[in-house]
Structure 1
Amino acid sequence: MKRFFRSLLAKYMFLILLAMSIVQVSYLIIALFVFGVSSNTQGDTLNNHTIEEGDVEEKWHQEANGMQVVTSETIEEHFTKWKQQHPKASMFWVDGQGTLANQVNVKEQLPAEWSAVYTAKFIKQHYGGDPFTVIAFVGQDEMNGFIVLEMPRSEFDPPLKNIYDEYGLIFVSGVIFIIFLFLLVSFLFFRSIRKRLLQLQEAMEIRDVDGLPIEITVKKKDEIGQLEKTFNQMVFELRESKQSEQKEEQLRRELIANLSHDLRTPLTKVRAQTYSIAKEDLSEEGQKAIESLEASVVNIDRLIENLMSYTLLMASKYKFETKDIDVIRYVRECLALWYPVFEKEEFKFEVNLTPFEQNKWKIDPIWLGSIIDNLLQNVLRHAKSGGYICVKTESTNLYDAIVISDKGNGMKNESDEAGAGIGLSIVDMMVKGMKLDWDIESSEAGTTIKLKKYK
């Protein structure tokens, strides 16, 4: 239960209940306000509900006709009584001689003397209009003249309508304020949720120095807080796993380095013994066996060298020193060492090294030599069927390149001397380490490799 009250669901339900309570309380306050205002302004009218035009007209005629003594004082008293009941009403008396004898709250300009024609015109203009007009003869004798009652027709509207006309703006403003208050609280609630989710997203995208996401501070114990806690636990486990993996990787590298070093000693002895046996008088089959053994020793030595280089490169312990060298000249020197090897294997060896606009490359010559050796060795091992190798230069507006191509069966076809691909991995790491680039195009017609230096 405690966990439920900490959840976002509980908070949202509380927000809805709070909004409903505010609405109910607000309507109650507005109702009490309306009732109080109507009681003060309408008096007995609210108790008698709506004023009826017929009742007012009947009462006005009844009281006017019931006057026994018609004088200015009785008329004044009668007008005062009706004024108290209907504050917005206006009244006047025209006596039997057609003289305007008395008036109360009359705003329009009335003539002092009334003729029959003007009286008829007045009745025609005011009949059925606004204000509501009632004309009644005074007393039992028509010679006493007549009295006129005028009331705004709004006086006959329901009390609540009158109150709404007067206080409607306040009512509407109150409702709008309540709705705005609910929307504001909802906006703040969901903005808080969105802000926390964005913080969690940002923590997932930002990487620490170890390349893992950063942990986030858990401030609340709701669903998002549990998600943040789980995220931190995941980051912690990833960090432990990576540290363990780094330790295992370090042990593996040390093991490979030690094994590579330890294998060199017996391999040297095998090579020495093979050389000694080759001096003896051997049969033709024995001589072939010795030659095959020597080739195998060379291959094993090269594989051990590649394995050692790969391990050192992965551990960032391979010596790296950049120098400004003439790359065309350096490549020629490397090719000169390989020319006899390819000639022995009956390869057609073409070299077309045209100078670049800028022959000076800032690179590590040992690394470049290792790259060329690996690429040429791959041609010798895997493209022997083509019997062809070409090394040339290429220049574009974007880069200068050393291009090595052959006419073998391509990298996608199987080779009798397929290896683990460590040589190409070494080439890739060394090329990127010297901030160069390279690409490979291989098909059944041959393979072309370009070592690029962008301008």
Structure 2
Amino acid sequence: MRIFRSLLAKYMLIILLAMSIVQIAYFIPALFVMGIAQKEESNNNIQYGEDYNENVIEEQWHAEANKIKAIKIEVIEQLFEDWQQKYPEAAMFWVSEKGTLLTEVNVKEQLPAQWTPAFTTKFIKERYDGDPFTVIAYLGDDETNGFIVFEIPRSVLNPPIRNVYQQYGTIVFLGVICIIIFFISVSFLFFRGIRKRLLKLQEAMEIRDVDGLPIGMDVKKKDEIGQLEQSFNRMVCELRESKNREQKEEQLRRELIANLSHDLRTPLTKVRAQTYSISKEKLSDEGKYAVKALETSIVNIDGLMENLMSYTLLMASKYKFEPKETNVIRFAREHMTTWYPVFEKEGFEIDVELHSFEDNNWLVDSLWLGRIFDNFFQNVLRHASSGQYIGVKTESTKYYDAFVISDCGKGMNNESNAKGAGIGLSIVDIMVKGMELDWDITSSESGTMIKIIRRKKLSE
């Protein structure tokens, strides 16, 4: 059933099993101890009852001593013999009124033949509430007849079950400790298995396949973690299907853009040819202004289509990229010369300061780098013509070398009649990162500054 596959059910089973084992652990040792106790009682003919009670023994010993009237050694020996049969472990002896040891039974220690008052006092002090249990009684309830002493080990007075527990208590305690350790070990292994599976799930979430998505897991169990693994696998499948659909849609979109760009170039070429023909005719000043505006719009549209085509090719990784060692200072100077006439025609102040870097050779694609410069220069013409200034300089620090392109326009946040700069900057971002360079742009109402940065390695 499904409930028995649950982790909660498995752990509750461990708890119930542990409780059962603990109960068994107490029950079996109890039976074991009781069996040993009964065996000891049978072997020693000991029947635990009131006769082995300290108070009973003391009262009976005093009563027997008081009943003796004829103080004779035969009578005392008979008394000792009767009590010896009743209490085989007991020791008894008689000391006369003069301190003479007259008779003794089962006494294991060496007693003096003559008892002095000092020794008698010492003996009574040592035996008081000690082991063995000792009872001292005067014969005939008269101290002139001397006293008789009864001694028995206190262990004999304990019930056999107590003696057995004292003997085997450590074993029982260690057994219970072993059971507790066993339960802790089982719980540890149980939770370690859960933790191991959760870590495996976490690892699967972090590992990425070639498509950038997580890798599915092999589900071996159908408990809660197994259900979580199945949900994770379903999520991975859904993500992969979604990404495939997205890639297909993106591919269709790129093909559509490429086709539109190609199809629009043909009528645009015809419009450009007709515009050129019109410009050859005799026109009024307004007509010439309109033709010039039309030519500018055609150029802008052509540039937008070119950017759109380039962006599509870059996103599809089909734009040709051939990096090689290039002297970027020389390249920047040569490329800037092609733009001099354009900026001069528009009345721009041109400020170029290209100083050599510590290492002028960068691993770049010259076509890509030229396209980056062209995009920046075009943006200056379109958006910063009011400032009539462009600066192209170099900058070197301890951490990087950079080309700095600046203008004195109104900034990129201001409205401009020219559109399409967003695609151009997106192309710049892709190309810069593709050549493992960085770029930074700062824009305000007083102008815009763009840096093309090459970070220096620590070894440099």
TM-score, normalization by structure 2: 0.89
Unaligned runs of 5+ in 1: none
Indicate whether 1:77 and 2:92 are aligned.
Answer: no
Name the SS for the 2:93 alignment partner: strand
Q: 1:106 aligns with which of 108, 131, 134?
A: 108
User: How far off its partner does 1:105 sit?
Assistant: 4.4
CA spacing shift, 1:323–1:37, aligned 2, 3 Å: same
- Per-residue CA deviations over 1:1-58 (Å, capped at 9, x if unaligned) read x222211121122122112212222222233233223333456877527943221122
Q: Which moved more, 1:188-197 or 1:75-84?
A: 75-84
Q: Which moved more, 1:337-346 or 1:195-204?
A: 337-346
Pairing 1:157-168 to 2, within 5 Å after superposition: 161-168=162-169
TM-score, normalization by structure 1: 0.90
Q: Which residue of 2 aligns with 1:295?
A: 296
Q: Which residue of 1 aligns with 2:24?
A: 25
Q: Which moved more, 1:264-273 or 1:59-68?
A: 59-68
Letter of the 2:269 partner, please give it: T
CA spacing shift, 1:50–1:453, aligned 2, 3 Å: farther
User: How far off its partner does 1:435 sit?
Assistant: 1.2
RMSD: 2.8
Q: Which residue of 1 aligns with 2:213?
A: 212
User: Does the CA-based 8 Å contact 2:48-2:159 persist in structure 1?
Assistant: no
User: How far off its partner does 1:166 sit?
Assistant: 2.8
Q: Which residue of 2 aligns with 1:221?
A: 222
User: How far off its partner does 1:136 sit?
Assistant: 4.0
CA distance in 2, matches of 1:435, 1:359: 16
Name the SS for the 2:386 alignment partner: coil
Q: Which residue of 2 aligns with 1:4?
A: 3
Q: Which residue of 1 aligns with 2:61?
A: 60
Aligned residues: 450
CA distance in 2, matches of 1:318, 1:271: 27
Q: Which residue of 2 aligns with 1:396?
A: 397
User: How far off its partner does 1:423 sit?
Assistant: 0.3
CA distance in 2, matches of 1:411, 1:11: 66
CA spacing shift, 1:404–1:52, aligned 2, 3 Å: same
User: How far off its partner does 1:80 sit?
Assistant: 3.7
Pairing 1:65-144 to 2, within 5 Å after superposition: 70-71=73-74, 74=78, 77-78=81-82, 80-84=84-88, 87=89, 89-94=90-95, 98-107=100-109, 109-114=110-115, 118-119=119-120, 122-123=123-124, 125-136=126-137
- Per-residue CA deviations over 1:85-115 (Å, capped at 9, x if unaligned) read xx3x3333447882453331423x3113345
User: Does the CA-based 8 Å contact 1:309-1:318 persist in structure 2?
Assistant: yes
Pairing 1:433-444 to 2, within 5 Å after superposition: 433-444=434-445
- Per-residue CA deviations over 1:221-276 (Å, capped at 9, x if unaligned) read 11111110010011011111112211222222222222222222222222112111
CA distance in 1, matches of 2:268, 2:281: 21
CA spacing shift, 1:158–1:347, aligned 2, 3 Å: farther
User: Does the CA-based 8 Å contact 1:50-1:158 persist in structure 2?
Assistant: no
User: How far off its partner does 1:334 sit?
Assistant: 1.4
- Per-residue CA deviations over 1:183-211 (Å, capped at 9, x if unaligned) read 22221111111111111111101111110
Q: Which residue of 2 aligns with 1:40?
A: 39
- Per-residue CA deviations over 1:392-444 (Å, capped at 9, x if unaligned) read 11111111111000111212222222326110011111111111111111111
CA spacing shift, 1:19–1:118, aligned 2, 3 Å: closer
Q: Which moved more, 1:122-131 or 1:333-342?
A: 122-131
User: Does the CA-based 8 Å contact 1:322-1:362 persist in structure 2?
Assistant: yes
Q: Which residue of 1 aligns with 2:351?
A: 350
Name the SS for the 1:411 alignment partner: coil
Pairing 1:276-295 to 2, within 5 Å after superposition: 276-295=277-296
User: Does the CA-based 8 Å contact 1:49-1:158 persist in structure 2?
Assistant: no
Residue identity (%): 64
Q: Which residue of 1 aligns with 2:151?
A: 150
Name the SS for the 1:319 alignment partner: coil
Q: Which residue of 1 aligns with 2:455?
A: 454
Q: Which residue of 1 aligns with 2:184?
A: 183
Pairing 1:323-402 to 2, within 5 Å after superposition: 323-402=324-403
Name the SS for the 1:421 alignment partner: helix
CA distance in 2, matches of 1:33, 1:15: 26
- Per-residue CA deviations over 1:256-314 (Å, capped at 9, x if unaligned) read 22222222222222211211111111122221121111111111111111111111111
CA distance in 2, matches of 1:188, 1:91: 63
User: How far off its partner does 1:360 sit?
Assistant: 1.8
Q: Which moved more, 1:50-59 or 1:265-274?
A: 50-59
Name the SS for the 1:217 alignment partner: coil
User: How far off its partner does 1:355 sit?
Assistant: 1.6
Q: Which moved more, 1:197-206 or 1:45-54?
A: 45-54
CA spacing shift, 1:320–1:83, aligned 2, 3 Å: same
User: Does the CA-based 8 Å contact 2:65-2:141 persist in structure 1?
Assistant: no
CA spacing shift, 1:280–1:123, aligned 2, 3 Å: closer
Unaligned runs of 5+ in 2: none
CA distance in 2, matches of 1:232, 1:36: 61
Q: Which moved more, 1:182-191 or 1:90-99?
A: 90-99
Letter of the 1:101 partner, please give it: T
